[in-house]
A and B are shown apart, each in its own frame.
Chain A
């Protein structure tokens, strides 16, 4: 199982702050997104999103998610 975290407005698109996905094996990001609702998958594919795997920023290029991983989707920030 892998846990997806949705920050900011992505939480509203997903309907929850996180989603646990059963993973039979290590899964490329594109295949993982294909398991999701198409509207959510599109929201998670935006060019301005950043990704953090187990708390560290990563590039989506070639990203593979393994069982037990936590992948956070970080939309553009709006702080202060």
Chain B
């Protein structure tokens, strides 16, 4: 059973990873990915919006798909919504598995789907004004890698 969370407040990746590692002590390997707000380019804030009826249920569906596709001992998916500053964590994915290959692949799979297929809308503030971020073509190309 995956641990899937929509975080409306800041979270501490190290604490969550420690907790996850303890909960899945039988796993031989844990692969984690942390996405954080990029510093630079004049951006001093990033805001993610979600749509409550869809966002968390779709994240849970994604986690179930990953669990059926890869051999995992555990899966953690945490995604922020709200306003963040450069350096703040946005998304944390951790996959625990008996063998590393499934853990790497599952974390990659979940991230590609979160980037292009999850119900979040992003805007950035630079020089005092907010700008909505449009989807990137590369994200869709990344997603297409998993089509079977």
Contact = CB atoms under 8 A, between A and B. Distances in A.
Contacts of B114: 79-80
Interface stretch (A5-13, A21-29, A35-43, A61-69): A5-13
Contact of B53 (A9, A12, A52): A52
Contacts of A7: 49, 51, 121
Interface string B96-123: 0000000000000001001111111111
B132 A79 contact: no
A79 B51 CA distance: 12
Contact of B121 (A52, A56, A79): A79
A76 B134 CA distance: 8
Majority DSSP secondary structure for residues of B touching A: mixed
Nearest to A5: B51
Judged by DSSP, the binding face of A is loop
A76 B116 CA distance: 9
Interface residues of A, number: 17
Contacts of A8: 49, 121, 123, 132
B79 A79 contact: yes
Nearest to B136: A78
Contacts of A57: 54
B91 interface: yes
B71 to A, nearest CB: 25
A1 interface: no
Nearest to B122: A78
A28 B30 CA distance: 51
Nearest to B134: A78
B111 A80 contact: yes
B42 to A, nearest CB: 19
A79 B134 contact: no
Nearest to B91: A80
Interface of A: 5, 7-9, 12, 52, 55-57, 72, 74-80
